[in-house]
Amino acid sequence: MAPAHLPTSRAAAAALDVHDPLASFRARFYLPEGVIYLDGNSLGPLPGAARQRLAQVVEAEWGEGLIRSWNAAGWIELPRRIGDKLARLIGAQPGEVIVADSTSINLFKVLAGALALRPGRRRIVSERDNFPTDLYMAQGLIELIGGGHELRLVEADEIGDAMDEDTAVVMLTHVNYRDGRMHDMAAVTRRAHACGALVIWDLAHSAGAVPVNLNGAQADFAVGCGYKYLNGGPGAPAFVFVARRHQADFRQPLAGWLGHAQPFAFETDYRPAEGIARALCGTPPILSLAALECGVDIALEAPMSAVRAKSLALTDLFIALVEQRCASHGLRLVTPREPDRRGSQVCFAHPNAFPIMQALIARGVIGDFRAPDILRFGFAPLFVRYVDAWDAAHILADVLDARAWDRPEFHRRAKVT
């Protein structure tokens, strides 16, 4: 049964779009004809502003300005400037966030820094179902340090009990990539602090999608992606947060020259910069940063309360429609029904998830498959409409009813899935 407030016809869904306070944001993105894009959680669409801004950076700043643009066009300020903007989206203060490198690399930096702040403690606690790169980076760092650290992996509901006086760091992804479960950031952080551990939050599926209040939760460190809900473009640089209270003691091993106190003094010995700049490593990718800034600027214009309300309404609607229309096909909802435990995606498990998703993509509904058996649909409230949720659920039902997925071409796996 659909909750009573959900639309019961396509016209009723369209009426919700008419009254949607975020409706005007859709026009800020380029979205191809005939596509229902439910993958903004993996690669956000192109902001129209980014297209113009990139042309300007390439032609005027790079082409004409050449090396003078590091100062004249403010290139050198971009990591900090965009970091300060992002801080407003994730409950941080200016000077606590900087944009650099990838999420994987930033995680390596803050994990190394956090372990060094808890000498004598040997354990890193994380979730078995965390995004693999987070676990791999921890494994690689442990091997590199050679200090006998242990990565203890548990199920989501065992995290509290897994923390003890030997726990140096609790490292978690706020919204799980595979099933959309969301942790209670404040509660987990409180519990970790109670046993003397530090917490690192990965906000890859949170920033720009759900309310995040790092300082409200007393978070220690965080990292996150620029190319997902922030719409920064393929491979956009990532961000890193270091709480102000840790910055003076924070040391990270990727001690590149731009994290030095005086990069252009070209000193022989490393001295970390004051503040968040010590999280930098090498030269920032200016074209990518310019595009990311356009995505972040759009996200900042949208009130987060409206984003969250629409995200929950879209995901509620999609869950209800799929459960009504596809009831006989054995889809199993793996995303929490409880709103306060749900990110901005809906995932169903099905043994034929891979070919079903390929058949959906062929029909213009782009979501993604996550091994071993998950159909994942991201609902980015800035451009996904209620009619999109309506149509996507009905196309999924068609594909299942007609077994349209059961064709050889939909079983073939490409390099990126």
Span near ligand PLP by CB under 6 A; candidates 20-28, 56-64, 109-117, 201-209: 201-209
Q: List the one residue from 20, 84, 202, 368 that touches ligand PLP (CB under 6 A).
A: 202
Does 177 bind ligand PLP (CB under 6 A)? Our answer is yes
Contact (Cβ atoms closer than 8 angstroms) between residue 366 and residue 416: no
**Catalytic (active site) residue 386:** no
The answer to whether residue 179 forms part of the interface with ligand PLP (CB under 6 A) is no
Residues 6+ apart with CB under 8 A from 39: 366, 367, 368, 378
Q: Which member of 103, 315, 335, 358 binds ligand PLP (CB under 6 A)?
A: 103
Instruction: For the segment 31-50, give every residue that binds ligand PLP (CB under 6 A).
Output: none
- Respond yes or no: is residue 227 known to be catalytic: yes
Task: Count the site residues for ligand PLP by CB under 6 A.
Answer: 13
Nearer to ligand PLP by Cβ, of 198 and 203: the residue is 203
Closer Cβ to ligand PLP, 109 or 385, answer by number = 109
- Contact between 204 and ligand PLP per CB under 6 A: yes
Stretch that binds ligand PLP, among 14-22, 198-206, 343-351, 402-410 (CB under 6 A): 198-206
* Residue 36 CA: distances (Å) to CA of 33, 114, 198, 255, 355: 9, 41, 41, 43, 18
Return the H-helix or E-strand segment holding 15.
Answer: helix 10-18
Catalytic residue among 221, 227, 369, 410: 227
Which residues, at least 6 apart from 85, have a Cβ–Cβ distance to it below 8 Å? 293, 296, 297, 300
Strand partners, 366: 37
In angstroms, how far is the first alpha carbon of the chain from the final one? 33
Cβ pair 397, 325 in contact under 8 A: yes
**Binders of ligand PLP in range 113-152 (CB under 6 A):** 131, 133-134
Asked about 28 being catalytic, the answer comes back as no
- Could you say which residues in the range 214-273 bind ligand PLP, by CB under 6 A? 225, 238
Annotated catalytic residue: which of 228, 342, 370, 385? 228
Phi-psi category of residue 48: left, alpha or beta, with phi > 0 → left and psi -120 to 50 → alpha: alpha
**Cis-peptide, bond into residue 47, ω within 30° of zero:** no
List residues binding ligand PLP (CB under 6 A): 102-104, 131, 133-134, 173, 177, 202, 204-205, 225, 238
